[in-house]
Structure 1
């Protein structure tokens, strides 16, 4: 009986890990739609690579994990010296998005060509 319980437990853990792996699979098309709906181009430019102000960042082609965590930090209700970004414009822009949508947005924006650097093709095969 214990042997059967152990097998079932392992199967349960494996299923949970598999679900976690796919829970954040990003959708580039959804990300593009959300970027267009969100009005990101108003500040970051049509390709998200030509901001309207030199104080706004070029976000096209930035690492996906950086973009995702930056947007999460703008959503943080309790800003601390170690977590959060204090920008009321961005906080308002990303407030309406859930975690999956932030993943979709980050994946799409990361997929865009950046004028900041040429990616290392050996490590990053994006066109």
Structure 2
């Protein structure tokens, strides 16, 4: 809900220090992941909101809009390069085992996803600002 407000008010900021201060306040805004309290009986949704995955995705979305408003372009240019020992059977077996494990360890998965998204988003923002 804050994307239009942030793009209109934060997008025109050109000073790096004010951008840094703005990102600090946005991080505080999205850092509190406990706001979306969902009943623990809904295991998936409770885990996504309690661990902060929703807040991290919200900050990532906000970051994409702000960086575009600051006239920067997000181009990670990631390419999958196969190693000489790459085998499709092993990759398929790992994906199947990870999928099965996912249904039993949802809180552990969401606890691992949240810092990955949040920390990489903050790193990208700091690189853009500095």
More helix by share: 2
Q: Same fold (TM over 0.5)?
A: no
| TM-score, L = length of structure 2 | 0.26
TM-score, normalised relative to structure 1: 0.26
